[in-house]
Amino acid sequence: MKREHASLYVSPETHQALRLKTIEQETAGEVESGTLVSEDGSEYPIRLGMPDLTYPRDLSEPDLHARSFYDGRAEAYDKFLHLTFQTHNEDEQKLRNQFIDALDLKPAHKVLEVSCGTGRDSEIIAERLGAEGMLCLQDIAAGMLERCRQRLARVSVPTSYSVSNACFLPYPDKYFDAVYSFGGLGEFSDIKRSLAEMVRVSKPGAKIVVGDESLPPWLRETEFARILVTTNKQFMAKLPLEEMPVEARDVRLRWVIGGVFYLIDFRVGEGEPTGNFDFEIPGPRGGTYRSRYLGQLEGVKVETKHLAEQAREKKGVSMHDWLDEVVRQAALRELDESGKL
């Protein structure tokens, strides 16, 4: 870890800024071992040149399993990953480039890759960034991250690494221009929280691209599906549509790699969407979207409703305007008579 990258990280628990507390070993400007500390005194070790910013310290069972499973398999994982593309007669490099096209990268962008694995996509992202950009790589398994670091050793773009939990990212709010994660989402213990974290660390307007295994509904009862699921049950994982953040805008969903992986990309908005809810809606009912939502009253008897409809029609106004006037006048009269006006 470079000294100057210490200020990039925040506490994954409190989001307080971190600083270098101790440097135990440093080689050619790279801090190989030491400690990062937050304002409240929380300490995080740096091992083998990478800060360990894992939170919570005692991982949940799914996260602990993912770390244990992948930590010692980086070499084998990297060696055989191409078989996924070969199974579906796909060109791996062509498809990976297409996935990263969706990020709309510019040379000066700051990019985060969540669950970067051994860096096969990271290489492509790095090629699209310039010296003024930044590529941050995150994974829960130090073994995978170390393999990624070796692969990217000669890239020109500044890079940083963190061993951390995708559900508690150790990066500041509204920092990145793009966030990418392919192949790890299905392993996260809390997909909804991980997506919310990706939004938190992204600037408004930033692009987020995520993807993983998931057979589309129309293929799930086929022999094609049964063959795939026999080897990898993750293909039956459901799409994370219910976990999507409310800030997601311009959402696109595609099936890729033989049509059995999903790819979702979206832009980051601020809060819930907004709409033009205050124009008068033409027709007998009248009112606005907002008044129909906020101005609801208790129901009346059916015969009273029929009388109101006749009265509204006779006056030639919408039901909204007729009711608004009738209820207002009745309320004012009642309050005046009771002495509350």
For residue 341, pLDDT over 80 is answered with no
pTM of the model: 0.93
* CA distances from residue 324 to 75, 97, 301, 302, 315 in whole angstroms, order as listed: 71, 59, 18, 19, 13
Q: What percent of the chain has pLDDT over 70?
A: 100
Euclidean distance between CA atoms 229 and 241, whole angstroms? 21
Mean pLDDT of 21-50: 95
203-227 pLDDT, tens per residue? Answer: 999 999 999 999 999 999 999 999 9
SS3 of residue 8 by DSSP: helix
Give me the chain's average pLDDT, please. Answer: 96
Neighbours of 295 (CB within 10 A): 13
Q: What is the pLDDT of residue 340?
A: 75
The phi, psi pair for 150, rounded to 5°, reads: -65, -40
For residue 115, pLDDT over 80 is answered with yes
Q: What is the pLDDT of residue 339?
A: 80
DSSP letter assigned to residue 334 = H
307-329 pLDDT, tens per residue? Answer: 999 999 999 999 999 999 999 99
- With bands split at pLDDT 50, 70 and 90, how would you rate the model's confidence at 180? very high
Judge if the upstream peptide bond of residue 204 is cis by omega within 30 degrees of 0: no
Q: What is the pLDDT of residue 337?
A: 86
SS3 of residue 328 by DSSP: helix
| Dihedral of alpha carbons 172, 110, 63, 259, sign | positive
229-278 pLDDT, tens per residue? Answer: 999 999 999 999 999 999 999 999 999 999 999 999 999 999 999 999 99
For residue 64, pLDDT over 80 is answered with yes
Burial, 118: exposed, middle or buried (Cβ in 10 Å; 0-12, 13-18, 19+)?
A: buried
- With bands split at pLDDT 50, 70 and 90, how would you rate the model's confidence at 156? very high
